[in-house]
Structure 1
Amino acid sequence: MSLQERVTEVLPSVLSDLKSLIAIPSVSSQPEHDDDVLAAAEAVAHLLREVGCPDVQFLEAGGKPAVYGHFPAPEGQPTVLLYAHYDVQPIGDADAWTTPAFTASERDGRLYARGSADDKAGIGLHLAALRAFDGKPPVGVKVFIEGEEEIGSPSMKDLLDKFPTELAADVFVIADSMNWTVGQPALTTTLRGLIDAVVTVSTLESGVHSGQWGGLAPDALTALCRVLATLHDEKGNVAIEGLASDPEPAIDYEDDAQLRAEAGILDGVEWIGEGKASARMWTKPACSVLAIDATPVKDASNTLIPSARAKVSVRLAPGDDPVTAEKALRAHLEKNTPWGAKIDIKSERGGAGSRTSLDDERARSAVAAIRDAFGTEPVEMGIGGSIPIVGEFAGRNDGALVLVTAVVDPTSRMHGIDESLDLGDFAKAALAETLLLQNLSVAP
Structure 2
Amino acid sequence: MAVDPLRQVVSSLMPRARADLAELVTFRSVANPDIEPPAECAKVANWLIDKFTEVGLERVVASPTPDGSKCVHGVAPGPPGSPTVLLYCHYDVQPTLGEHLWHTPPWELTERDGRWYGRGTADCKGNIVAHLTALRALREHAGGFPCTIKLIAEGSEEQGTGGLEAFVPPNAELLAADAILVADTGNFTVGVPTLTTTLRGMTSVDVRLSALSSEMHSGMFGGPAPDPVAGLIQVLASLHDERGNTTVDGVGASEQWHGVDYPVDQFRKDANVLDGVELIGDGSVMDMLWTRPSATVLGMDIPSVLDSSAVVQASAAARVGLRLPPGTSGQQAQDALVEHLRSRVPWGLRCEITRVAVGDPFVGSLDGPAFDAMRSAMEDAFRHPMATEGQGGSIPLCTVLADTFPDAEIMLLGVEEPRCLIHAPNESVDPSEIEHVALTEALFLTRYASNGTS
Shorter-chain TM-score range: over 0.9
Letter paired with 2:268: R
CA deviation map 1:144-201 (0-9, x unaligned): 1111011114312331134221122111100110211111121000000001000011
Conserved 8 A contact 1:179-1:185: yes
CA deviation map 1:363-415 (0-9, x unaligned): 11111110010011121100000001111111101211110012121111111
TM alignment of 1:160-175, pairs within 5 A: 160-175=168-183
Partner SS state of residue 429, structure 2: strand
Q: Which piece of structure 1 moves more, 221-230 or 156-165?
A: 156-165
Partner SS state of residue 173, structure 2: coil
**Which of 21, 26, 30 is the aligned partner of 1:23?**
26
Conserved 8 A contact 1:86-1:119: yes
Letter paired with 2:70: P
**Which of 5, 8, 16 is the aligned partner of 1:5?**
8
* CA–CA distance in structure 1, aligned partners of residues 440 and 161 of structure 2: 27
Residues 81 and 153 of structure 1, relative CA distance in 2, 3 Å threshold: farther
Q: Which piece of structure 1 moves more, 252-261 or 353-362?
A: 252-261
How far apart are residue 335 of structure 1 and its match? Answer: 1.4
Q: Does 1:345 align with 2:353?
A: yes
Conserved 8 A contact 1:59-1:159: no
TM alignment of 1:36-435, pairs within 5 A: 36-62=40-66, 63-134=68-139, 136-245=144-253, 247-251=255-259, 253=261, 255-435=263-443
How far apart are residue 328 of structure 1 and its match? Answer: 1.0
* CA–CA distance in structure 2, aligned partners of residues 177 and 254 of structure 1: 16
Residues 153 and 200 of structure 1, relative CA distance in 2, 3 Å threshold: closer
Letter paired with 2:28: P
RMSD (CA atoms): 1.7
Partner SS state of residue 174, structure 1: strand
Partner SS state of residue 177, structure 1: coil
Residues 299 and 110 of structure 1, relative CA distance in 2, 3 Å threshold: closer
How far apart are residue 128 of structure 1 and its match? Answer: 1.1
Conserved 8 A contact 1:109-1:424: no
Conserved 8 A contact 2:207-2:317: yes
Q: Could you state the TM-score of these two structures normalised by the residue count of structure 1?
A: 0.96
* CA–CA distance in structure 2, aligned partners of residues 257 and 247 of structure 1: 22
* CA–CA distance in structure 2, aligned partners of residues 390 and 157 of structure 1: 9
CA deviation map 1:86-129 (0-9, x unaligned): 11111122233222112112222211111111100111111011
Percent identity reads 37
For structure 1, list consecutive stretches of 5 or more residues without a partner in the other structure: none
Conserved 8 A contact 2:169-2:404: no
How far apart are residue 245 of structure 1 and its match? Answer: 4.3
Partner SS state of residue 418, structure 2: coil
* CA–CA distance in structure 2, aligned partners of residues 159 and 274 of structure 1: 40
Conserved 8 A contact 1:128-1:430: yes
Q: Could you state the TM-score of these two structures normalised by the residue count of structure 2?
A: 0.94
* CA–CA distance in structure 2, aligned partners of residues 13 and 302 of structure 1: 57
Conserved 8 A contact 1:185-1:406: no
Residues 406 and 330 of structure 1, relative CA distance in 2, 3 Å threshold: same
